[in-house]
Amino acid sequence: MRIRHLSVAGIALLALGGGPFPSPASAQTAVPPAARSASPAVSSPHLTGVELSAPVQQALQQLQEQWLQFATANNRERAGQVVEGLLATSRQLGMRRLPDLSLGALVQAVRAARKGDFRHARWALDAAERLDPDRPETAFAEASVDRLRGNSMRALGDLSSGYQRLLWLPLERYLWGQDLLLWSLCLLLFTGGLFVAVEMATKGGALYRDLFDFLARRIPRGASHAVAIVLLVWPLALPLGTVWLLLYWSLLVWGYASTSERAVLIAVWLLLGSSPFLLAEQRRQVTVMLSPPVQAMENLAEGRLYGGLFTDLGVLRAILPESPAVKHLLADFHRRLNQWDLARSLYRQVLEREPNNASVLLDLGDYFFFKGDFGNAIQHYQKATAADPSNAAAQFNLSQAYSDSYLFDESKHALAQARVIDDARVDGWLRHADQQRVVVADGGMARIAEIRRQLFQSWQAESPSPRLELFRRGLSLALALSLILLAVALHLGRRAFGYTEPPLELRFGTGALARWSRVLLPGVSSAEAGEGGRVFLALLVPAALLTVPLLPRLGYRIPWGYDPGDLAPWIVTSIGLLAYLGARVRWELRNQL
């Protein structure tokens, strides 16, 4: 399944025709994908995924023409007028955001800034914000413009604003959280590897001495050194030799470790063994979240008309052709497009499976109300109130249908019932009654979570045998348990020969060199004292700071159109490491022996 990600270069070709300021001729390549759907040749559901009526195609064609006008605009006033027209046309389609065009405006802004035309860059950024408000991409592009202008402090503020906006977007926030989970898992495993290395650094001398003494009793002493070294580092010859070496060393230092250090080793082994389970489960969840159908649903819920929306909704219908929830969602979408006849057909199919679906009954009543068939509208509204007595919208619509049928007493009674259920919402509906007489229900939109679960189940049904998958993932957990058993068995076998204490000459003194060694080598002094938990925590902080720049690259790529770059992670790492080292120096100065 693909990730919908529009690069800056791709948007430049999409929106600008390959140049920063296209002429009317070159701007013919600047057609947004959504507008390309307007051609009669692609009105078939086999090509677009959903049926498009002639008025919808005309509206999409109008979007295309308006975008060409924006691409050739040369001042703020003209661009603002075109943006107003674009938003008005999108509202005719039941949508309120145009993300592809917003990204195109961002590219215009950045390319204009590179040419030194910061006035053009400013109004292009304003247009991008209006076309798709509160997106992090706009803040990131604004940071690029500010850097080109030479205002570094404002650029940092724009970057911060972009990351703050990220937290308010459901999909981006979800992917960011999944990246954090993956980074945390890798961080813990990386810190576990450092823990084993520190344990070997502090206890390796004693281990080598014991191994050499054991070999010297059987082979010449000169050869014992070479054999001992080979026995300690032979896993490096294997694929992924460093990983196997650390696992091997963790077994060897078990007998020299304290109780707390052994507890940390066991925790690292178990985490390593369970990682395949955790990663596989995460991959399944994220694969569904990034699939075209889920992307279409999430964007539809936000009112974002992007280029592949119609096609991706067609993919959803193909994957779950018999799902009432999918049909309900598509019916709501057709209703938003003012394709009421198509919506009515789908609503009836949903009712065949769910005869008491109040939101479907309500929308069918709206269909007849707008047709002027108030008798059928009243019938459906009554069924909706019977199916859901707490539905204020059904009672309100019923009162409107009674009023237009000159049944004023029944209308007053239904309106009173609606006020009893939700007086505040009824007041709001009455204030806007001149714009829309009856309330429409977005029941299909409310079933997105249900559809997502169905997609996940469908994905699981197509996956390989669950038993085979369980066996494959269980191998790593079996390896972790084997490490524990092997470490205990090795320790019991070695205990009869005794253990050499770690050499005291490795312990740090109180001089300046020793103090700086403790500052720059966190965890070593705690390892000398056998404090396993303190060793791990001492290594965790610098490891986290050093791996922050890997966070944007380690996990799943967030599908934003304008990449913020690596500046912010490197700033966090640099400032964090300086603060960490400063804190350690201050602590050492306060606790000198």
444 occurs within a structural domain: yes
User: Which residue in the block uniquely carries the two structure tokens 């050869």?
Assistant: 223
**Band of the pLDDT at 213, cuts 50, 70, 90?**
confident
User: According to the model, what pLDDT value does residue 435 have?
Assistant: 78
- Say yes or no: 164 and 25 in one domain: yes
Residue 322, Cβ density class (10 Å: 0-12 exposed, 13-18 middle, ≥19 buried):
exposed
User: According to the model, what pLDDT value does residue 409 have?
Assistant: 92
CA–CA–CA angle 96, 97, 102 (5° rounding): 150
User: According to the model, what pLDDT value does residue 2 have?
Assistant: 32
- Say yes or no: 445 and 496 in one domain: no
User: According to the model, what pLDDT value does residue 3 have?
Assistant: 31
- Say yes or no: 279 and 346 in one domain: no
CA separation, residue 43 to residues 39, 98, 310, 340, 530 (Å) = 7, 20, 10, 17, 72
- Say yes or no: 423 and 484 in one domain: no
Rounded to the nearest 5 percent, the helix, strand and coil shares of the chain are 75, 0, 25
Does residue 140 have a pLDDT over 90?
yes
Q: Which residue has the higher pLDDT, 17 or 109?
A: 109
Rounded CA separation 321/49 (Å): 12
Which CATH number does the domain housing residue 390 bear?
A: 1.25.40.10
Is the distance from CB of 330 to CB of 350 less than 8 angstroms?
no
491 occurs within a structural domain: yes
- Say yes or no: 249 and 207 in one domain: yes
User: Which residue in the block uniquely carries the two structure tokens 């390896």?
Assistant: 479
Q: Is the dihedral of CA 259, 263, 266, 268 positive or negative?
A: negative
569 occurs within a structural domain: yes
User: According to the model, what pLDDT value does residue 251 have?
Assistant: 85
**Band of the pLDDT at 361, cuts 50, 70, 90?**
very high
- Say yes or no: 17 and 152 in one domain: yes
Using left for φ > 0, alpha for ψ between -120 and 50, and beta otherwise, residue 549 falls in alpha
Q: How many domains does the chain have?
A: 3
- Say yes or no: 51 and 178 in one domain: no
User: According to the model, what pLDDT value does residue 25 have?
Assistant: 31
**Band of the pLDDT at 97, cuts 50, 70, 90?**
very high
- Say yes or no: 75 and 186 in one domain: no
pLDDT tens-digit series, residues 258-305: 889 889 998 998 898 888 888 888 888 888 888 899 989 989 989 999
152 occurs within a structural domain: yes
**Long-range residue pairs from 343-352, CB within 8 A, at least 24 positions apart, any chain:** 343/367, 349/324, 350/324
Domain that includes residue 361, residue range: 322-460
Using left for φ > 0, alpha for ψ between -120 and 50, and beta otherwise, residue 134 falls in left
* Selection from 230, 192, 194 nearest residue 211 by Cα: 230
User: Which tokens hold the place of 158?
Assistant: 């724009």
Percent of the chain at pLDDT > 90 equals 43
User: According to the model, what pLDDT value does residue 403 have?
Assistant: 92
SS3 state of residue 589: helix
pLDDT tens-digit series, residues 503-516: 444 444 555 666 66
**Long-range residue pairs from 174-180, CB within 8 A, at least 24 positions apart, any chain:** 174/289, 175/286, 175/289, 175/290, 175/555, 175/556, 175/558, 175/559, 176/558, 178/282, 178/285, 178/286, 178/555, 178/556, 179/551, 179/552, 179/554, 179/555, 179/556, 179/558, 180/551
294 occurs within a structural domain: no
User: Which tokens hold the place of 9?
Assistant: 């270069």
**Band of the pLDDT at 564, cuts 50, 70, 90?**
confident
Using left for φ > 0, alpha for ψ between -120 and 50, and beta otherwise, residue 49 falls in left
A 10 A CB-CB count for 463 gives 11
Rounded CA separation 290/300 (Å): 15
Is the distance from CB of 298 to CB of 314 less than 8 angstroms?
no
Q: Among the three residues 173, 196, 228, which one is the final residue of a domain in this structure? A: 173
- Say yes or no: 447 and 578 in one domain: no
Q: Among the three residues 442, 460, 478, which one is the final residue of a domain in this structure? A: 460
264 occurs within a structural domain: yes
Round the average pLDDT of the chain to a whole number and report it.
82
CA separation, residue 173 to residues 35, 151, 321, 564 (Å) = 29, 29, 30, 15
- Say yes or no: 404 and 331 in one domain: yes
User: Which tokens hold the place of 382?
Assistant: 């009554």
- Say yes or no: 412 and 493 in one domain: no
- Say yes or no: 403 and 337 in one domain: yes
Residue 279, Cβ density class (10 Å: 0-12 exposed, 13-18 middle, ≥19 buried):
middle
User: Which tokens hold the place of 76?
Assistant: 């703020």
Rounded CA separation 548/566 (Å): 10
> Which range is least confidently modeled, 128-142, 176-190, 215-229, 410-424?
215-229
Rounded CA separation 569/548 (Å): 6
Report the amino acid identity of residue 347: Y
- Predicted TM-score of the model (pTM): 0.75
* Selection from 422, 338, 441, 339 nearest residue 380 by Cα: 441
Cβ contacts of residue 424 below 8 Å, gap of 6+? none
130 occurs within a structural domain: yes
Q: Among the three residues 137, 152, 173, which one is the final residue of a domain in this structure? A: 173
Please compute the mean of the pLDDT values over residues 42-53 and round it to a whole number: 63
**Band of the pLDDT at 27, cuts 50, 70, 90?**
very low
314 occurs within a structural domain: no
